[in-house]
């Protein structure tokens, strides 16, 4: 399926003026050594002894770092280029989920999974590609703020501006890198070097309160257009080469943010969650960049959680972004929220059993897209196209590139997966988008 929206409109980025007076260490980028030699900060790498049960029971601050368009095939997953040394160092001491899935395949449909713990199809929203979510009560931070738990956020694309998306619902502080125009057609901006100082400022304010805080910062630079950087090694001129430069540059500035957190007295009680809103395609299934489909390269994303003092662990069973909102709520010590679809990861982050469960990826219709929905059960994936008009079935263990559709070759498995899919879909009360009839072709 061809992309019907200019690729850069598919979840934007932004440029911003520098943030004066913030963290001198972050105000000027220092070119790092070659990637294999970039050291992680000693303060952020030391693994302390595991906390006792009483310490675990106390509330944690939560720092969510999401990186736009970050593919699952990063260095910690076997990618040959060391393009993310700081994140790799953090990953090595974290609980990691190599089979994690975003809620959807582009930002305006996937971010709600992080912020509401629900699927976009069941949220009141417009039918535009740059979707606006209409009910503040759907967002987890609305409930957190009612409990006196502050939420702060810093971002680098005009779609995240107040009133554009609704993502800011419940946030006490919400800022964008300054002077970002909303360009629907392209995204040439470089912003990580501006977002990190802004994040440091917002964290400094949030940490002054008596309650734990939730902080979210969304780094945009790996999203196209792919820029080259003097701070990064140059890998070539192909799209993936330039994308890798963008990842290296983002990693550099995320590392500076991690250094700041590690140096703070509250850093020892701050859980750091790293993930992506979606992946990125480089020719797989005839697609470049993102959107409109639910193939693995678009919805399989990095996910790892660092709890200071906790033991690293790999949990190799599917998990989805719907699990993150209940995880944040439990870590923050907030009241449980029965509207959340997912299951808190806190028990398994602390060494508990990681029970298998199915994961749903949900792409509702909008002005450019007919509905897609996928269900992942162990290593089997079912994709529903349109209004369940057609299905495709894949064995991800034997066929990770989803090239061999088994829907007719294995009818018993297909019926089992359709049954699981129907049961999962029954739990999603779909709301039609508001604001016009979708323009896509069925």
Listed residue (322, 16, 365, 324) closest to 161, CA to CA: 16
Could you tell me the end-to-end alpha-carbon distance of the chain, in angstroms, rounded to an integer?
12
| Measured torsion, CA atoms of residues 249, 85, 359, 391, in degrees rounded to the nearest 10 | 60
204 found inside a domain: yes
pLDDT at 326: 97
Reduced to 3 states, what is the DSSP secondary structure of residue 160? helix
Could you tell me if 306 and 272 lie in one domain?
yes
410 found inside a domain: yes
pLDDT at 170: 98
87 found inside a domain: yes
Could you tell me if 62 and 151 lie in one domain?
yes
pLDDT digits (tens, 9 = 90+) for 59-101: 999 999 999 999 999 999 999 999 999 999 999 999 999 999 9
Tokens of residue 26, six digits: 């972050």
Could you tell me if 381 and 349 lie in one domain?
no
For residue 57, name the pLDDT band (cuts at 50, 70, 90).
low
Query: Across residues 390-418, what is the average pLDDT?
Result: 98
254 found inside a domain: yes
Could you tell me if 315 and 412 lie in one domain?
no
Place of tokens 């299951």: 343
pLDDT at residue 108 above 60? yes
Q: Please report, for the domain that includes residue 418, its CATH number.
A: 3.30.1120.10
Could you tell me if 132 and 105 lie in one domain?
yes
Domain span at 402? 361-426
Could you tell me if 396 and 337 lie in one domain?
no
Contact in structure between 197 and 19 (CB atoms under 8 Å): yes
Could you tell me if 116 and 182 lie in one domain?
yes
Tokens of residue 142, six digits: 């609305």
pLDDT at 313: 97
pLDDT digits (tens, 9 = 90+) for 141-152: 999 999 999 999
Distance of alpha carbon 205 from alpha carbon 203, whole angstroms:
5
Query: Across residues 392-398, what is the average pLDDT?
Result: 98
The count of domains in the chain is 2
Could you tell me if 261 and 135 lie in one domain?
yes
Show Cβ contacts of residue 110 under 8 Å, excluding neighbours closer than 6 positions: 102, 103, 104, 120, 277, 278, 321
Considering 324, 354, 384, which residue would you say is the last residue of a domain? 354
Could you tell me if 328 and 376 lie in one domain?
no
Query: Across residues 242-252, what is the average pLDDT?
Result: 98
pLDDT at 85: 98
For residue 179, name the pLDDT band (cuts at 50, 70, 90).
confident
């Amino acid at each position: 399926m061809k992309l019907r929206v200019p690729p850069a409109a598919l979840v934007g980025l932004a440029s911003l003026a520098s943030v004066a007076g913030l963290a001198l260490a972050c105000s000027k980028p220092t070119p790092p050594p070659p990637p294999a030699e970039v050291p992680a900060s000693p303060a952020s790498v030391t693994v302390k002894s595991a906390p006792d049960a009483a310490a675990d029971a106390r509330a944690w601050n939560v720092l969510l770092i999401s990186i736009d368009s970050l593919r699952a095939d990063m260095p910690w997953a076997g990618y040959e280029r060391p393009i993310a040394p700081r994140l790799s160092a953090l990953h090595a001491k974290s609980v990691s989920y190599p089979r994690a899935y975003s809620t959807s395949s582009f930002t305006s449909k996937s971010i709600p999974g992080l912020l509401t713990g629900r699927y976009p199809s069941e949220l009141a929203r417009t039918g535009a590609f740059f979707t606006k979510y209409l009910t503040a009560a759907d967002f987890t931070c609305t409930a957190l703020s009612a409990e006196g738990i502050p939420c702060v956020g810093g971002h680098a694309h005009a779609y995240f501006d107040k009133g554009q998306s609704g993502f800011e619902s419940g946030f006490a502080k919400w800022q964008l890198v300054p002077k970002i125009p909303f360009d629907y057609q392209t995204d040439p901006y470089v912003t990580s070097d501006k977002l990190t100082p802004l994040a440091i400022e917002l964290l400094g304010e949030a940490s002054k309160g008596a309650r734990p805080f939730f902080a979210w910062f969304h780094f945009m630079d790996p999203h196209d257009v792919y820029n080259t950087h003097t701070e990064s090694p140059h890998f070539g001129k192909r799209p993936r080469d330039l994308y890798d430069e963008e990842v290296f540059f983002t990693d550099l500035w995320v590392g500076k943010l991690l250094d700041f957190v590690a140096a703070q007295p509250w850093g020892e009680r701050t859980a750091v969650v790293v993930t992506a809103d979606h992946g990125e395609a480089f020719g797989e299934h005839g697609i470049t960049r993102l959107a409109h489909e639910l193939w693995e390269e678009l919805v399989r994303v990095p996910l790892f959680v660092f709890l200071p003092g906790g033991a690293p662990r790999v949990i190799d069973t599917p998990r989805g972004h719907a699990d993150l909102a209940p995880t944040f709520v439990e870590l923050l010590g907030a009241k449980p929220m029965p509207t959340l679809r997912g299951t808190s990861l806190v028990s398994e982050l602390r060494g508990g059993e990681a029970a298998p469960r199915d994961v749903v990826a949900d792409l509702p219709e909008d002005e450019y897209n007919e509905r897609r929905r996928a269900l992942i059960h162990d290593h089997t994936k079912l994709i529903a196209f349109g209004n369940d008009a057609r299905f495709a079935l894949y064995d991800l263990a034997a066929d990770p590139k989803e090239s061999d559709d088994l829907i007719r070759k294995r009818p018993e498995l297909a019926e089992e997966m359709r049954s699981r899919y129907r049961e999962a879909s029954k739990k999603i009360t779909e709301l039609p988008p508001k604001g016009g009839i979708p323009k896509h072709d069925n």
